[in-house]
């Protein structure tokens, strides 16, 4: 049983001196996992133990993209709720979920890091960051040169812009749409754009953010209805007023 191996326990507690001693032992496997399929690197990343993470990252054979154990989960209606399940999370995803701002720059600077790797729910680091509501974490990710703002979820084909709009994360969406790489008109498998989703859920704050982009397309239809048609038929007057004023 490896639930509390010396390396895992020392990393959990942030005892970098002990970690250093253990890592110099010839028989120690730095990638050894505990019973939850997490190793010392993942645990230290999750707990924002920057000195431990920096020490482990210096090892030549550390796997920065290793994922934790997969736990079966039932249907979850809110896409943001899936971001915090233990189901194929990497050290980066765990650090983002915990807003580990001391560790994140270390992870993001590693040349082997896959910043776009998703868990088994299709959640990317960007999506997890939006779910936490931490703009500082989101900005750290957006600064990475290989970040894909338009990465489609393997589950529902939605992007982080669509997910933020659907979940009413106006503050996070405002950060995303400021980046010209973000496609605000992408359509998911249900035929929704971010604007259609925001109109359908009666979120004038989200609609206002989306309309700040000059390239937002009001003419896109889902089942023959535009965002304005949807807002009008549901008597969402605040949304209607915003859309009409933008035409």
Count of CB atoms within 10 A of residue 192's CB? 24
Q: Which helix (H) or strand (E) holds 107?
A: helix 104-108
Q: Which residue would you say has higher pLDDT here, 237 or 34?
A: 237
Q: Mind listing the pLDDT tens digit for each residue in 157-212?
A: 789 999 999 999 999 999 999 999 999 999 999 999 999 999 999 999 999 999 99
Nearest residue to 217 (alpha-carbon basis) of 242, 186, 241: 186
Residue 32: per-residue pLDDT? 84
CATH H-level superfamily of 149-247: Ankyrin repeat-containing domain (1.25.40.20)
Task: Annotate 15-49 with b (16+ C-beta within 10 A) or e (fewer).
Answer: bbebbeebbeeeeeebbebbeebbbbbbbbbbbbb
pTM of the model: 0.88
Residue 112: C-alpha distances to residues 61, 66, 148, 224 (Å)? 11, 11, 16, 45
Per domain, the residue ranges of the chain are: 149-247
**What CA–CA distance (Å, rounded) separates 189 from 159?**
11
Q: Mind listing the pLDDT tens digit for each residue in 5-18?
A: 889 889 999 999 99
Distance of CA 229 to the CA centre of its chain: 32
């Amino acid at each position: 049983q490896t639930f509390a191996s010396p390396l895992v326990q020392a990393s959990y507690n942030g005892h970098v001196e002990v970690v250093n001693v253990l890592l110099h032992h010839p028989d120690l496997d730095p990638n050894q996992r505990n019973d939850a399929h997490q190793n010392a690197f993942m645990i230290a990343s999750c707990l924002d133990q920057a000195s431990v993470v920096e020490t482990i990252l210096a090892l030549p054979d550390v796997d920065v993209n290793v994922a934790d154990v997969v736990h079966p989960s039932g249907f979850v209606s809110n896409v943001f709720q899936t971001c915090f399940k233990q189901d194929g999370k990497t050290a980066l995803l765990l650090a983002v979920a915990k807003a580990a701002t001391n560790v994140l720059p270390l992870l993001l600077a590693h040349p082997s890091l896959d910043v776009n790797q998703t868990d088994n729910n299709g959640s990317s680091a960007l999506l997890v960051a939006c779910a936490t509501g931490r703009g500082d974490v989101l900005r750290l990710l957006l600064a990475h040169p290989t970040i894909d703002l338009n990465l489609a979820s393997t589950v529902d084909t939605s992007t982080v812009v669509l997910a933020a709009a659907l979940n009413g994360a106006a503050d996070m969406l405002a950060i995303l749409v400021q980046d010209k790489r973000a496609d605000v008109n992408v359509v998911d498998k249900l035929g929704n754009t971010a604007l259609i989703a925001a109109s359908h859920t009666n979120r004038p704050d989200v609609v206002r953010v989306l309309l700040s982009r000059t390239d937002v397309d009001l003419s896109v239809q889902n089942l023959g209805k535009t965002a304005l048609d949807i807002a009008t038929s549901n008597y969402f007057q605040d949304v209607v007023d915003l859309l009409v004023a933008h035409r």
